[in-house]
Amino acid sequence: MKKNIITWFITFGMMFSSCSMLDIEPTTSWTSANIPTEEAHLEGILYAGYSRLQSALRINFLVYGEMRAEVFYNNAFNVNIDKVIANKLDNGMALASWQTFYEAIKQANLVLEYTPELLENGVIEEATANPIMGQAYVLRAYTYFYLVRIWGDVPLITEPFLSYNDLRDVSRTPQDQVFVQIHSDLQQAVKLIPASATGRTTFTQASAYAIDAHVYAWEHDYEKVIEQADFVLKNNNYALSSLYSTSINVNDKDFKEKLHASEFARIFNEGRSKESIFELAFSMDDGDDNQYLSSYLSGSFPIVRPNQAYAETFDDADWRAVVAHEMASNGLYKVIKFTIGFSSDVDTRNIVLLRLADLYLLKAEAIAHLGDSDEHRREAMALVNRIRNRAGGPGFEIPEAEFMNREVFTAEYLKDFILEERKFELCYEGHRWFDLVRWGKAVEIVKERAGIDIHPLSIVWPIHIEEVRRGAGVEQNEYYK
Amino acid sequence: MLKPAYSELKRLTNYDHDKGQTIQFMKNYELNPHLDFDRTVFSKRYTIRTYLMISFMLYSALLLAGNGYSQSINLKVSRAQFETVVHELHKQSGFDFIYNPSAISGASDVTLNLQNVELTEALNAVFRNQPFGFVINGRTVIVQPREGRRTVLQSRIVEGVVTDRNQVPLQGVTVSLKGTRVVTQTNERGRFSIQLEAGHSVLVFSMVGHESKEVTARVGETLSVVLFESMDDLDEVVVIGYGAQAKRDLTGAITSISAEDMESNPGATINSALQGKVPGMQIVTTSGEPGAGSNIKIRGASSISGGSEPLYIIDGVPMEAENISSIDGDASFSPIANLNPNDIESIEVLKDAASGAIYGSRAANGVVIITTKGGNKFGAMAPRATFDHTSSIVSISRKLDVMNGEQFRTAYAEARANNGQPVTQLWVTNPHHPYYNRTTDWQDVIFRTAYQNSNNLSLRGSSDRFAYGISLGYRDLQPVIVHTGYKQLNMRGNFTYKLSKRVSAGTNVSYTDVDYNRILSSSSNNYSALRAAVFTNPVFSPYDPLTGELTDWLGQREMRNPLAMAQKVPISFFRRAVTFNQYVSAELARGLTLRTSLYTNISTVKQSSFQPKEFDSATPRRDFGKYSENTANKLVNENTLTYDRKFGKHRLGAVIGQSIERDFSENLRLEGENYIDSKVTPIQNASRFSAITRTESERIMLSFFGRANYNYASRYLLSFTLRADGSSRFGPDKRFGFFPSASAGWRFSDEEFMRFAKDVLTDGKIRGSVGVTGNQSISNYAWQGSFSASSNRYDGHVIINHNSLMNTNLGWETTIQYNVGMDLMFFKGRVNLTADAYHKSSKDLLFNFPTNYYTGFSSVATNFGNIENRGIEFLIETVNTDNAVRWETGFNISFNRNKITDLPQGDDILISGYSLGRVGKPIGIFFAHQALGVYDRDESNVYYAPDGTIGQYRKGASTGEVFKGGDMIWADLDGNGVIDDDDRTIIGDPNPKFIAGLNNRISYKGWSLSANFYWSKGNMVMNELRRRRNQMTYTGNLGQDALKRWRQQGDVTDFPMIRYGDAMENFRPSSFSVEDGSFIRLKEVILSYSIPADYLRGLFVNSINAYVSGTNLLTWSKYSGYDPEVNSSTNPFVQGVDNGSFPKSRSFNLGIRVQF
């Protein structure tokens, strides 16, 4: 008996004494050591990048891109939104944090780090690797473009942090250098993404060109804008969705319903239209719970409403207004562009970030900035009129006689006209504030139309206080010091 | 005052249920003139006093009524054997009969027919024709020859009963006849009988933990002996890691708590029982919710990562205690709440490294060893059943002063006006509207006075080869918040059995079932019921004033109705746990024991919550539900070899062992929307799942350990331990941690030169120790980094997020602790003093260190920084009087000073806004702005710049807003005229200067009165609840303190203007919200009474104890919130933050304990 026990004890002890038993790996997740090893992993990491961008922009595409302009007023007293609309930003607002944007960049960097490795090891082939990498490049570039537009100089991270040992203090990189990186990423992307990729909810060649055009516009490099925009405009995978139709009459009883059912309205409410270049996909099936659009814009007590003065700048002949907003019985406007026929029980809506009409007008803007010759005018206004024609038919176009009249259409007026046209076309799509900043008119127009003073230094957002506190090297924007 | 009442009660009860007894008293007296019977004639006063006794009598009377004995005898026998008749008499009367079988050999058969006669009459009849007679002594009939005194001596039998001070019979008392080898033990009723020998008549009564007593006995008499617990407890055995040791031989800092110290209220927990009893142990519960988690620190916080909880060892099995968080993340529950406090026999708290180091890796925060009752010892103990019942009336201990309807209406309009906003709400513009013209104090709506009860039934006993303890406990703890309920069922069985002379084994099994229906209790969630009680607009009523119906929303859908929420939002928490532990130990050679054990448990927590549509604020409304299931499984195998031998004066002990532990957990979480029905809401009734997550997690720990003890005559004591732990949580190179310790003690009182002081200093020992302990509380797989698939998709595609960074350097956090201590015992234990001083320094702290967001991560698991704790602790226990009245006092006080001694690059870290870590400062010290007062008017804001210019103070930036009248005046520490982050400073320390406990117990015969106080001094509290209310980020009621707010130019006050949304951040975290959280709490007062064993003799009841008590009766504190003791966070870094958790409740309890 005694002997047995001892033997048993020793065997038992030996059995467990082996230290390798402490090598355990998670069974329901991966570790840094065992992922990515296959194509599906890379895709998962890439799509997570899209998903992070989604989180960063789900309503914030409006917060960062439009709310600081003259467009909205705060309807339900939401403290943070109030600060944005009043242009009184502070460094403690969650909105001042760039965390989610950098999470998207993190995922893109991972793809760019690992795909070449897997390619080299022969795990995947070029045909699969290229589109994945190409998308990651666009994702990174586009995210940086948002970062720069919001915060100015930002830390430029192009390699993933994989381990504790990789951590280091990074200071803010000057915008110019970030732009160099963005252009280079986008150029890489168009080489890698096949022309056959035509999805609307993932990045394509066209979306890379469109973003690049926007970045050049931001840098005021107008020739480049035209060059990049043309790649998209010539791509016959994209066409303007229709709105104006001779079969619809303003006096029709169901005029509004007809417009709400138009191709143009369906860009935003159905998604994946022929005009769409890039949109963030939201779906209930994906677990998205995008009630933001209705609670912010169109619910019974929306957080923001368009200023009446703003809403009334729309021409009566401009059919886009009918799709964009409506006046409720109480005389107040609300935005319906994304929520026509919306029922939060069953619906989500994609958020269209880039579409063809934007590129039409961006090109017009570039042309107008390049010169004021007749040819320039004709070319620019042809683009604008194409958009106006869709909005209100031939009668809504500006006749050549009119825009060639330099007395009325001064060089400045023409440019303003294009800026204004962008406002009507792209209203509530998260462009207005960025447009004003790009045109250098933010301070002027917001003062003039909303009576809000903006200090030029406060055009950039504050960096979240936590970020400043945590890092050696991340310095606060001047205005918020 | 108690004395006469008690003695009269004794007579009264005797008289009452044993009519005619006085006669026997007299007879006895004649027989044995030395018997010390009280001959006082009954006082007439007793009848009045009786009323005072009624409550206690009630219990005994009830029991007596049902006892089956009758005082009148019916006997109808014909030619019955004498013994049979005696047996019948015994049955009917409950009287015991003592006789020598040889003495009744000549008995003649009995023929009788008696109806309703008294016992004496019956006895006289029975004994009439017998060759022997009888005497009655108490409740015993002694049969004796008629010849007289000469033969009486021959029987030489002495019998009696031994009880403790509280009249509870003592079983297992050794009764020996001095100078002879005659010895016996008391039975389960405390009774004994012993045969005297010629020339010897001194009986010695002895029992462990009690003082021995010598009594000179006389034949035939019945002794009533009371044994007092001994004050000298040096022989008491204390449970230590992997063994037990006599208290005398301890060299480490260990505090023992026995079952008696457990609290009396049904909601009692182990943590609440320990609070104020163990010097150096600070326990702060996160809320007053049943089963709530606690923030426990033994000798200060030595870790940051969330692991400051001690290691719990329950019946030898380690349980790492991680609080369980609720499904909505608003509360945390204690992992040890599944233990029934009633099952606990003793708790040992190991504080220094030398005691804890045998548990190595996890002992850095101290070790709490819990031993459950029953099945521990072999010996002859008849089955003993115990039933406990406690009933309580429970209510909240404090209400906050909130504004009434009119006050709030004014304040709200003002708050809006201060933003230049018109007020359009009907309840402001239309104050006479029937919906808005009254005031509701929502605390009255949300809180209630609840009835709680707890019941326990246990059965324990043992033989030479088998010992068992089985218990069943049921507690119904209705919380003080409406529409909530908490029920807990506990079962436990402990069995030990001897397989052969050298092999014994044991089995422990337990089962726990907790069923809790709760409502949200804390967090920032705006529909937490408790916050709602304070925040809800007082002009609204829970019921529609016109129809009387409960409304879902208040006002014009302005606020959810907290009462409707409480009724209609079901949140449930189920917890089930089964444990099984089996061990075998074999004595391989003399003193050498091998023990191997296998432990396993399965514990499941199932939670669900559902928010019906009607409370959704979005349009159209949706309903949401959640369901989660966490299953944890633990497997521990432990093998130890113990050696313990005494060679003359040398005593040598050693343990070597090895253990392996595997922890496995599985979590499932489902979230759904759009239910098909709002009444029946299992998760599958959701028409869509918005999140589905399932995870598994595993950890393995492999350990080797050993200890050697040596002592010489208990005078020189030495002990060494070493443990090596390998944990799968750390990188391959950092896996194993080594944790050595050494300690020594010197009992100087035993030295020759101390002999002169022996009368005063009974025992004196100094001890010292040094040791290393560790901590591994970081998540499983932490070093490996993590990628995981999310439950969301992007456009139908699976997404894989990189969640955490890998850190191959991640390793053990270690703590080196030095301890010196002294144990002094004066006057044979009348005064005991224990003092300890320690220095603890922890390095390589495990921490999820905040990283810059540009990394894509918000934190990374790493080791960093050092923390130091220094402190002294005193424990003084005295027996102030020890005659009829015994008065014991225990006082302990401990001072701990905590300091961060190193941080990476010396940088400050700030957690959750204002809890600061800074080198040289205590952990979690409050760091925020200093409020200096309130500008009485706009012009009062003047800033004199260093360059001589005059300006005004601005907020945030040189271009920021100018502070105006009614805004807070902030200290501008850098003198730049801008109030920003750089102007923050240390504004308060949440660590107490000292904590102390005072426990008193006075007992007199069956009565005992005890009172426990707990005192915490100098800890500051950040009153977040108050701060958030004043910020008015949404429409919530304010406190009465806001009545003195600044309202117009020229107002001089220290309370700033209220402004909807608090644009100027007057209510930012600051010294304005920091309050002194010092308090003294009368934790519990218990008055208990045990019915004397004498009166229960002959009943099937062995002892009855009844008590009344009050818990959390009084709290003296200046703090303005619900409770200064609440800390909303379980993170040791974030201390003293009051987010408005469920307050502690006050209870009045009535209990009874009956032992059969």
Of B700, B805, B1033, the CB nearest to A164: B805
Nearest to B270 by CA among B329, B209, B319: B319
How confident is the model over B727-736, as pLDDT tens digits? 888 888 888 8
Neighboring chain A residues of B980 at a CB cutoff of 8 Å: 481
- Distance in angstroms (rounded) separating the CA atoms of residues A248 and A258: 7
Interface of A with B in 294-353 (CB under 8 A): 294-295, 299-301, 343-345
Q: What is the pLDDT of residue B1130?
A: 66
Return the number of CB contacts < 8 Å for A and B: 259
Q: Cβ separation of B421 and A77 shorter than 8 Å?
A: yes
Q: Cβ separation of A22 and B700 shorter than 8 Å?
A: yes
Sign of the CA dihedral running A41, A42, A43, A44: positive
Of A47, A343, A465, the CB nearest to B794: A47
Tell me which residue has tokens 């595409």: A61
- What Rg, from alpha-carbon coordinates, does chain A have? 26
Sign of the CA dihedral running B161, B165, B167, B172: negative
Spans of chain B below 70 pLDDT: 1-71, 100-103, 137-138, 145-155, 231-235, 263-264, 286, 305-307, 320-322, 330, 375-376, 380, 520-529, 618-620, 1128, 1130, 1141
Q: Cβ separation of B853 and A160 shorter than 8 Å?
A: no
Is the separation of the CB atoms in B1121 and B1127 below 8 Å? Answer: no
Is the separation of the CB atoms in B1076 and B1119 below 8 Å? Answer: yes
- The larger pLDDT score, comparing residue A479 to residue B145, is at A479
Neighboring chain B residues of A48 at a CB cutoff of 8 Å: 790, 794, 799-802
Q: To the nearest whole number, what is the mean pLDDT of chain A?
A: 91
Q: What is the pLDDT of residue A216?
A: 97
CA distance A383 to chain B (A): 33
Neighboring chain B residues of A79 at a CB cutoff of 8 Å: 1033, 1061
How far separated are the first and last CA of chain B, in Å rounded?
31
Nearest to B784 by CA among B758, B761, B803: B803
CA distance B930 to chain A (A): 18
Q: Cβ separation of B688 and A284 shorter than 8 Å?
A: yes
Nearest to B60 by CA among B1114, B1102, B1146, B835: B1102
Is the separation of the CB atoms in B518 and B571 below 8 Å? Answer: yes
Q: Cβ separation of B853 and A79 shorter than 8 Å?
A: no
Stated length of chain B: 1156
Is the separation of the CB atoms in A173 and A151 below 8 Å? Answer: no
Task: Assess A467–B contact: CB distance below 8 Å, yes or no.
Answer: yes
- Distance in angstroms (rounded) separating the CA atoms of residues B409 and B435: 14
- Distance in angstroms (rounded) separating the CA atoms of residues A375 and A385: 15
Q: Cβ separation of B1061 and A79 shorter than 8 Å?
A: yes
Q: Cβ separation of B794 and A281 shorter than 8 Å?
A: yes
Task: Assess A43–B contact: CB distance below 8 Å, yes or no.
Answer: yes
How confident is the model over A392-426, as pLDDT tens digits? 999 999 999 999 999 989 999 999 999 999 999 99
Of B690, B806, B1060, the CB nearest to A287: B690
B613, B812, B855: best to mutate for the A interface, most A CBs within 10 A:
B855
Of A22, A25, A469, the CB nearest to B727: A22
Q: Which residue in chain A is spatially nearest to B780 when comparing CA positions?
A: A26
CA distance B730 to chain A (A): 9
DSSP letter string, B884-934: SEEEEEEEEEEEEEEEEEE-GGG--EEETTTEEE-BTS-TTEEEEBPEEEE
Neighboring chain B residues of A202 at a CB cutoff of 8 Å: 795
Lowest pLDDT segment from A54-58, A384-388, B622-626, B662-666: B622-626
Neighboring chain B residues of A157 at a CB cutoff of 8 Å: 854-856
Q: Cβ separation of B798 and A54 shorter than 8 Å?
A: no
Q: Chain-centre distance of CA A136, in angstroms?
A: 15
Is the separation of the CB atoms in A201 and A281 below 8 Å? Answer: yes
CA distance A263 to chain B (A): 22
Expressed in percent and rounded to 5, the helix, strand and coil fractions of chain A are: 55, 5, 40
Q: What is the pLDDT of residue B11?
A: 37
Tell me which residue has tokens 């030619």: B79
Neighboring chain A residues of B806 at a CB cutoff of 8 Å: 31-33, 162-164
For A316-339, what is the mean pLDDT?
Answer: 91
Is the separation of the CB atoms in B1150 and B391 below 8 Å? Answer: yes
- Distance in angstroms (rounded) separating the CA atoms of residues B406 and A13: 75
- Distance in angstroms (rounded) separating the CA atoms of residues A481 and B954: 12
Return the exposure string of A88-123: e unless at least 16 CB atoms fall within 10 Å of the residue's CB, then b. Answer: bbbbbbebbbbbbbbbbbbbbbbbbbbbeebbeeeb
Q: What is the pLDDT of residue B155?
A: 58
Is A3's pLDDT higher than 70?
Answer: no
Of B784, B786, B856, the CB nearest to A106: B856
Sign of the CA dihedral running A309, A314, A317, A318: negative
Q: What is the pLDDT of residue B217?
A: 83
CA distance A420 to chain B (A): 31
Which of the four pLDDT bands, split at 50, 70 and 90, describes residue A390? Answer: very high
- Distance in angstroms (rounded) separating the CA atoms of residues B259 and B282: 20
Tokens of B328: 């909505």
